[in-house]
Structure 1
């Protein structure tokens, strides 16, 4: 990574997320690259199964007591106070927040303490922007007001994963246009997710992710029912319900689908690279994403993908090149796309090869980390010039 290290050397940089799992899986390579620049890197999150692993890599991991699903005011104020104390303790020069609560709480606290550079990654809009009940509308309006309050400061820089999300924020005047940027997701390790020969036997269609209605699982099950009897295939679900998320699909319903014979449930898998090697097609019929990690991992593993023509998904899939796009909430179109790839092995292989090249050129961790560090550098350089 060719970066002028001088501006970042010695900078205290805090990377802040709502789980240590997020930091371990998605931002460890960024932390490593920042350390190579001579920066002093702090990783801040609630304590979980990956905290010790982050420390074992030589990073200063600090616990932040945060409940990512809570909306109880006393607990939220407590989390704000704890983060305020942490920032006063480490006195960061640069903070980079990931996911909703760190973005909102971290930006508020950083501005109170006069942190010079505040970067926020909007990793998607989430559940509260996909449904329209009265309660959800009220919460959504509160979130939008909060974004507007914390993001429109001159020292706050907002990173989006796709143009649709950026436009959503700018149309509602939630951020300053000149301080918004696009970096396409968290990146994929192209050395971990590698090509392999398509396996012999019954084709496997893979869905990997949280079990949420907003991910299009209902439409996927309906499409699979349409195809049953026409094609020999296995539909495999990898992941778990997202307990506490109002859009979560119950494990009881998953069990019913398994008993029906329409799906196999492989549970949570730590080695996803191995899982991709066993499948033939990867599918994500989601209603909206940032940049879906499942899809870019599939590209790197040289698998064809089927996704929806929705924000985030359409930023990964080039129709007819590395996969197929279908309208959201349309099980018939999803059925037809699955049928096309199930019936055409050569097309699957050609799309997989094209996807691998796209993953290397656009979505590799090297590319994404480089863009992120260059953004830090360009902002610091711009401010240095303004000070002259």
Structure 2
């Protein structure tokens, strides 16, 4: 990481850290939900399927937010859209702390989903347009690794809060804390500059034309296959992580602190996998990189869930599980950005990355439903393996885009 980072301009570095921080805070706010599921089930007297629906609602509206956020970035500028989206997901997370009923929580999780879906689309395209082509995969892979940082912070906060606070108020404390760090990101992003194309807004198309532009015949194939890619990537991740803490506690009978140790291994591995995927992607190409990580995901998930492993063996296998599951999302920002021309790049990236959430929103609910019939472990394993298989199918139909130079790259560095 140090070599490519040392070659970056001050603008590229500021953009990197702003995007890294925003995505990390997204992860902090979103992952606190999965860690609070057992407490939410007790607090509101809901089933696992109801809890899974909360996650599904967040994913579904995240898809809408990503499409909308990408189009807003194309139309009004990346930085302005980023500031709005950070405020949206942070305030929605904070409001979850004061929910008094299950329907209220559903609505607030929907608003949170809109915010974090839009934030990723704006931040990923901004970074893709600012960073030079030869470092795009490494930089965006490193940005994606911020999810592990936020996830790890959520695990630490959860272990601390649930250890020292009663369960009935601990989950409220977690959601309330989600507001605080976002204020720093809002301050940092005021110093960012729009990419030259976004700052020069001559002959802008109508906003709804921007939304529909990704269905033009010139880019329709990329949109359809990219959407399938998103379904597999998000479906696998959602099926695996939404109920993983619950699986470790209820099936493996680990305490909060014990399950946190297992999650820590996966989170560290996720960070390493994001960085490694970015490096490999720039060296061997986007398609070969995704194929490698997706195939490894299918095998590792099945072994982790179905093999008769001891707790110690699960701890060891947790590293490749987290490592390989990271490689797919870490490659998506660079790949999707390189599929689209400048005028619809934000819209295309936002749609492909987040459309998967519309369909993958069913995966947490399906895991919760199937767990009542075949057990939680089997439900997670089957759903996750199927989803990662979709990624393999999609990536084989996409073109290789490594090294693509964007229209405004030279002007941005200047």
Q: Greater share of strand residues, 1 or 2?
A: 1
What is the TM-score with the length of structure 1 in the denominator? 0.28
Higher-Rg structure is 1
| TM-score of the aligned structures, taking structure 2 as reference length | 0.27
In terms of fraction of residues, the more helix-rich structure is 2
Higher relative contact order (CA 8 A, sep 6+): 2
